[in-house]
Amino acid sequence: MVNAKAQQQLYTHAAEPKAVQQRRAKYREDDNPPLPTANIMFDRRVVRGNTYAARILPADVTQATAKPAAATTKKKTTRTVPPRTPEAVEGRRHIDIQTDVYLEELTDTVPEADTATQTDAFLDRPPTPLFVPQKTGTDAITQIENGDLFDFDFEVEPILEVLVGKVLEQGLMEVLEEEELAAMRAHQERFEQIRNAELVATQRMEAAERRKLEEKERRMQQERERVERERVVRQKVAASAFARGYLSGIVNTVFDRLVSSGYIYDPVMREVETGFMPWLKEQAIGYLSRGVVARQVVNKLVEDAAAALSANRDVVAAQAASTAAAVDAWAERQAALEAQLSGAELEAVRGRPTFVLRELKPAVASQEAIEAATAELQAQAEEAAAAKYEADRMEAADKARAEAETKLEDQRAKLEELAAQAAEEAAERGEDPPEEPPVLDEPLVDVEAVVTAAMDAVAKPPVREVADIDILSYMLDKGTITKDSIIQALAVHALGDKAFTNHPAFAEQA
């Protein structure tokens, strides 16, 4: 008991004993601040780049990690969270932005080494030895003298006869076949010429027959229309004559009595007299009064403008005269320069094709090729002139046909009008219409004759001359001459004797 009391007296307490507090709360407080967010893309502890090379940390990270170990034993303090950016408004969100350095210098170098190897070349396969079969049997020998087997001079004769006969027969067959093919081609060409001529004649006859049928139908239709018009005119003339004879004096008498008694009047005239004329007078008076005021204002403005113009007239006239003189002089200089430049450029452009085709050395094309191209272009120009001549003839024919048909229609209409007038005059006299048709002062127009005369009057257009620029363009299009060959020839021509193609050694080798 004494020992226990003594031991109790040996220990003293600086504070009252209390329960140990837990590090993590068993429930979450509502007022706890939110934990700061972190982005692994910007965490310095995450290694980026080559993981095999030695890791090199920035200076700030090295200093942060090189703190003395004794500091880790210090008492943990409460971490203060830096102030955050206010929350985004509704409908938007914040984006994380990297504030560290983007470019990092990589000081470590990976060791590299180059090495190579080469295998030995394959040896050629030795040639295969010839196969020599083993000898079998027993050797024997004999001797053949000249003339033992056959007589060459005697036995070669039938063979030569057969060979010569076959050769002659084959040559004769080939000659006959060529003659037959030539005759067939000539017959085919003659047949095609005859067929083409018959086809052209047939088309011409069909066109003439078609025109005749169309003209016949047109004239028949015109005749039917004329007969119908004459019938209508006769009916109208007869009805008009009967009405005039039956109501010669009744209508005028009745209308005169109605107008005089006031039962019939013109509503338009009455409306004009009672309503429109007074309104028109008022509007005219107002319009004239406004015109008088406007004329007075205009006269005042004109007087002021005339006074100002008379003050500045001399200055303006002098300036206008000097400006016009300067403009005229500049225009004359520009026209002279343009004429000089255009003439020089035109002559240069015209002379370039001639130089390329005929004067350039080395020549880009042979003389035969140039003459062949000229002949083809001349043939094309003649064909174009012939086609244009035919087109002009057809155009003149269509125009003449349209004019002739129009004039013929006018003549026929005039004849119908004369016939209707004669029938009306005969009806007024109480006679039958005249049976003889009326006659014009000039004969009816012959459409075909007018068309033929118009086609004959067309002059043939001149054939366009073939120039060197046309020949050069044609040969470039056909591929006889290329741009590369022209460029090469121009280069050789520009170099002259310095070109390797003009060297005597190159000429001898060629």
Does position 30 have pLDDT exceeding 60, yes or no? no
Highest mean pLDDT out of 87-96, 154-163, 169-178, 262-271: 169-178
- Tell me which of 318, 352, 386 is where a domain ends: 352
Judgement on whether residues 171 and 238 belong to the same structural domain of the protein: yes
Q: Rounded to 5 degrees, what are φ and ψ at 457?
A: -80, -10
Q: Is residue 210 in a domain?
A: yes
The whole-number average pLDDT for the span 338-366 is 62
Judgement on whether residues 310 and 322 belong to the same structural domain of the protein: yes
The whole-number average pLDDT for the span 296-312 is 76
The whole-number average pLDDT for the span 264-281 is 76
Q: What is the pLDDT of residues 418-434, one digit of tens each?
A: 777 777 777 777 777 77
Q: Which of the four pLDDT bands, split at 50, 70 and 90, describes residue 1?
A: very low
Judgement on whether residues 254 and 286 belong to the same structural domain of the protein: no
Burial of 475 (0-12, 13-18, 19+ CB in 10 A): buried
**Based on the structure, what is the number of domains in the chain?**
2
Q: Which residue did the predictor score with more confidence, 19 or 418?
A: 418
How does the average pLDDT of the chain come out, rounded? 75
Judgement on whether residues 301 and 339 belong to the same structural domain of the protein: yes
Q: What is the pLDDT of residues 31-77, one digit of tens each?
A: 555 556 667 777 777 777 766 655 555 555 445 554 554 444 555 55
Does position 28 have pLDDT exceeding 70, yes or no? no
Residue 449 in tokens: 């004759």
Q: Is residue 308 in a domain?
A: yes
Q: Is residue 371 in a domain?
A: no
pLDDT of the residue at 193: 94
Residue 368 in tokens: 């035969």
- Tell me which of 317, 352, 387 is where a domain ends: 352
Q: Is residue 80 in a domain?
A: no
pLDDT of the residue at 328: 72
Q: Is residue 405 in a domain?
A: no
Q: Rounded to 5 degrees, what are φ and ψ at 97?
A: -120, 130
Judgement on whether residues 281 and 231 belong to the same structural domain of the protein: no
Least confident of 63-77, 128-142, 252-266, 293-307: 63-77
Residue % of the chain over a pLDDT of 90 = 15
Q: What is the pLDDT of residues 313-340, one digit of tens each?
A: 666 667 767 766 766 776 677 667 666 6
Q: Which residues contact 444 (CB under 8 A, 6 or more apart)?
A: 408, 411, 412
Q: What's the CA gap between 102 and 162, in Å, rounded? A: 102
Burial of 445 (0-12, 13-18, 19+ CB in 10 A): middle
Global pTM value: 0.31
pLDDT of the residue at 188: 95
- Annotate 203-213 with b (16+ C-beta within 10 A) or e (fewer): eeeeeeeeeee
The whole-number average pLDDT for the span 167-189 is 95
- Tell me which of 231, 261, 291 is where a domain ends: 261
Contact 400/452 with Cβ under 8 angstroms?
Answer: no
Judgement on whether residues 302 and 336 belong to the same structural domain of the protein: yes
Residue 347 in tokens: 């002559």
pLDDT of the residue at 298: 76
Q: What is the pLDDT of residues 120-151, one digit of tens each?
A: 788 888 888 888 888 888 888 888 777 777 77
Judgement on whether residues 244 and 335 belong to the same structural domain of the protein: no
Sign of the Cα pseudo-torsion (350, 351, 352, 354, in order) = positive
Judgement on whether residues 288 and 313 belong to the same structural domain of the protein: yes
pLDDT of the residue at 168: 95
Does position 438 have pLDDT exceeding 60, yes or no? yes
The whole-number average pLDDT for the span 359-379 is 75
Q: What is the pLDDT of residues 219-231, one digit of tens each?
A: 999 999 999 999 9
Q: Which of the four pLDDT bands, split at 50, 70 and 90, describes residue 2?
A: very low
Domain, as residue range, for 253: 157-261
Q: What's the CA gap between 396 and 454, in Å, rounded? A: 6
